C-alpha cells in the first residue's frame, strides 16, 4: 500500500535559537483528524529499504530543487498510511487522501474518479508529479476543498489524475509540504499555492503554521493536523523553535542542524538533516549508525532489515538524544524499538526486539545526515517565521512497545 513522504525549501531569517511558542489555539485555528493504517505485510519493500529509497530520492530532488523546472520527487513508503477524508466540489464528494508533509500538490483520482460540480474550473494546464515508486499525471482544476467545517478553501488548485500508479486503496494526496516543491509540477505555472497557503491568504487561519500530532503506531490513536498554529491539548510542554538549516540539500526541506548522542557518547556531531513525519524510522549517517550498532550490541536481521537486540541488551539500552539548538530531545529505550505487537507485520519474530534506528546509506558530511522520523514529539512547521518547533506529548516517555 502507499504511504507518504517528505518536505521544504525556505529562506532563513534571523531567529533566536530556541523560543517558547507565541502561537496559541484560538478562533483562527482549526483541526483535521486522520487515521493511521499499517500495511507492512503488503509492502513490496522492507520498511528500511522503502524509507532509504525515499530518502535517496529526496537528496537527489533537494540538490536540484532550485533549478527551474524541477518537480517534487520522493518515494512512497509502503508501510504506514495516514489518511484523511477530504471533500472536493460543492456539493462535496469525499475522497481518502494520504496526508503528506513532504509534497505539496493536492490531487485526486487514483481510485475514485473526480466528480466535477458547478465550482469546478478546468485551467487547461497539465500536472505531473513523480514520487519515485509512484507518480500521477493529469489536469489541473480549481475547486472548493473542504478539510473540515472550519476549513473550506475556494479556488484551490487540485490535480485530477488521468494516470497514476503506486497508490492503492487511496484516492490521492493532500499535499501539506513546502510550496517550493510545486515548482515545475503544473504547466505554464511557477509555484502552486498549497492548501496551507490558501488558508492563510484567505484569512481562514491567522498564521501560516501547521501543527502535527502523530501518535505511535502501537497507540492506535488518531492523528491530528492543526492549521494556523498548534493544539496545546496534545502537548505536555511548551513548543521550542529552532531555525531552519542553510546547508544543502537539507535546506530544501524542513531541515535543521543537530547532533546525536547515545548515552554519554556523541555518535553524530552537529550537522544538517531533516524532520520528516513521512519517514517511518530514524535514519542516521553510516558512521554514526555503525557506532550505535556497536554500542547497543545489535546485529542486523536479514528478514526485516532492522537491527535486532536481545532482552539483556534491551535492559541495558541507553537514551538516544537529539541535541538541537541547546535543547535535548530524548528517545527512551521503549521509543527506540519497533512496536513488538507488530513484529510479524514486518516479517519478524513475535518474540524478538527490533530497533528503529537505521543506516541512511552514506557517511556524515553530505548535507543530509539524518532523518528524524518515528515521531514521539509534537511538531510545528512554521512558514511565517521560517522555523520548526518541537514539544513533548503524553507518548514521549510512554512505555507502549
Residues carrying an active site annotation: 100, 276
Q: Which residue has the cell 484560538?
A: 26
Please check whether residue 239 is in contact with residue 21, taking contact to mean a CB–CB distance below 8 angstroms: yes
Cell 473526480, residue? 114
Tell me the residue ranges of DSSP E strands in 278-383. 282-284, 299-300, 307-309, 320-324, 327-331, 353-355, 357-359, 370-372, 377-382
Which of 128, 130, 60, 117 shows the shortest CA–CA distance to 89?
117
Q: How far apart are CA 20 and CA 18, in angstroms?
A: 7
Q: Which residues are paired to 268 by β-bridges?
A: 260
The C-alpha atoms of residue 303 and residue 346 are separated, in whole angstroms, by 9
Which SS3 state, helix, strand or coil, does residue 294 take?
A: helix
Do the bridges between strand 93-100 and strand 80-88 make them parallel or antiparallel, or are there none, so unpaired?
antiparallel
Separation of first and last alpha carbons in the chain = 24
**Ramachandran area for residue 102 (φ above 0: left; ψ -120 to 50: alpha; else beta):** alpha
Bridge partner residues of 130 (DSSP): 135
Using DSSP bridges, classify how beta strands 265-275 and 307-309 pair: parallel, antiparallel or unpaired: unpaired
**CB 49 within 8 Å of CB 283:** no
- Beta 107-108 vs 30-38: how paired, if at all? unpaired
Q: Is 347 left (phi over 0), alpha (psi -120 to 50) or beta?
A: left
| Measured CA distances, 70 to 52, 129, 131, 185 (Å) | 21, 10, 13, 8
Q: How far apart are CA 270 and CA 369, in angstroms?
A: 10
Amino acid at each position: 500500500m502507499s504511504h507518504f513522504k517528505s518536505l521544504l525549501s525556505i529562506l532563513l531569517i534571523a531567529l533566536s535559537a530556541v523560543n517558547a511558542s507565541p502561537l496559541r489555539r484560538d478562533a483562527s485555528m482549526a483541526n483535521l483528524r486522520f487515521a493511521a493504517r499499517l500495511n507492512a505485510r503488503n509492502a513490496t519493500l522492507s520498511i528500511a529499504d522503502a524509507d532509504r529509497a525515499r530518502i535517496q530520492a529526496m537528496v537527489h530532488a533537494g540538490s536540484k530543487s532550485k533549478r527551474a523546472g524541477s518537480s517534487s520527487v520522493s518515494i512512497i513508503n509502503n508501510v504506514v498510511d495516514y489518511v484523511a477524508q477530504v471533500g472536493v466540489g460543492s456539493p462535496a464528494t469525499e475522497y481518502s487522501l494520504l496526508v503528506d508533509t513532504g509534497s505539496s500538490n493536492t490531487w485526486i483520482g487514483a481510485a475514485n474518479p473526480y466528480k466535477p460540480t458547478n465550482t469546478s474550473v478546468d485551467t487547461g494546464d497539465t500536472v505531473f508529479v513523480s514520487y519515485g515508486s509512484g507518480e500521477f499525471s493529469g489536469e489541473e482544476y480549481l475547486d472548493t476543498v473542504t478539510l473540515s467545517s472550519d476549513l473550506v478553501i475556494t479556488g484551490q488548485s487540485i490535480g485530477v489524475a488521468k494516470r497514476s500508479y503506486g497508490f492503492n486503496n487511496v484516492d490521492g494526496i493532500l499535499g501539506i509540504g513546502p510550496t517550493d516543491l510545486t515548482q515545475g509540477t503544473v504547466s505554464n505555472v511557477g509555484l502552486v499555492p498549497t492548501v496551507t497557503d490558501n488558508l492563510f491568504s484567505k484569512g481562514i487561519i491567522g498564521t501560516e503554521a501547521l501543527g502535527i500530532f502523530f501518535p505511535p503506531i502501537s497507540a492506535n490513536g488518531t492523528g491530528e493536523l492543526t492549521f494556523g498554529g498548534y493544539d496545546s491539548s496534545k502537548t505536555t510542554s511548551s513548543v521550542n523553535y529552532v531555525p531552519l538549516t542553510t546547508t544543502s540539500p537539507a535546506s530544501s526541506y524542513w531541515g535543521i542542524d543537530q547532533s546525536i548522542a547515545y548515552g554519554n557518547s556523541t555518535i553524530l556531531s552537529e550537522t544538517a538533516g531533516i524532520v520528516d513525519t513521512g519517514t517511518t524510522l530514524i535514519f542516521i549517517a553510516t558512521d554514526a549508525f555503525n557506532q550505535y550498532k556497536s554500542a547497543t550490541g545489535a546485529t542486523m536481521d536479514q528478514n526485516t532489515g532492522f537491527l535486532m537486540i536481545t532482552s539483556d541488551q534491551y535492559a541495558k539500552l541507553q537514551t538516544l538524544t537529539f541535541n538541537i539548538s541547546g535543547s535535548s530531545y530524548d528517545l527512551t529505550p521503549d521509543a527506540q524499538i519497533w512496536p513488538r505487537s507488530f513484529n510479524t507485520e514486518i516479517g519478524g519474530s513475535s518474540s524478538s526486539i527490533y530497533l528503529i534506528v537505521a543506516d541512511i546509506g552514506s557517511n556524515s558530511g553530505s548535507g543530509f545526515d539524518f532523518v528524524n522520523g518515528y515521531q514521539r514529539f509534537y511538531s510545528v512547521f512554521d512558514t511565517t517565521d521560517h522555523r520548526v518547533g518541537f514539544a513533548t506529548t503524553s507518548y514521549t516517555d510512554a512505555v507502549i512497545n
